[in-house]
Amino acid sequence: MLYIKCPYCGIRAQTEFAYGGDATVKRPELNKEITDKEWDEFVYLRKSLRGKHLEFWHHISGCRQWFKVQRDTTTHEIFKTLKPHEEL
């Protein structure tokens, strides 16, 4: 069981959360001409890092807030959790 510290609620069990994927992917700017390549990168391409990985989680069975987690993808150790607008 992973124990994840929701920045709003504190430490809770993994079963309260849903995973949201890589948090470093940036959506292309709105109202701008966007190439197929840019969409491809945003929608499909992922670095899938081994080691420290910054990712979104959703406290879906709790406060329902999204937030960021820095976690090791090899050991599953969680280093830090952040509110979605915060940077590392």
Give me the residues paired with residue 21 across strands. Answer: 56
Find the angle CA(10)-CA(83)-CA(85) to the nearest 5 degrees: 175
Give 47's contacts (C-beta < 8 A, 6+ positions apart): 22, 24
Q: According to CB under 8 A, which residues from 42 to 71 bind another protein?
A: 43-50, 53, 55, 60, 71
List 8, 11, 14, 84, residue binding another protein (CB under 8 A): 14
Closer CB to another protein, 1 or 30, in the complex = 1
**Residue at 53: amino acid letter:** H
- Which residues bind to another protein, rule: CB under 8 A? 1-2, 13-15, 18-19, 21-22, 36-37, 39-41, 43-50, 53, 55, 60, 71, 73-76
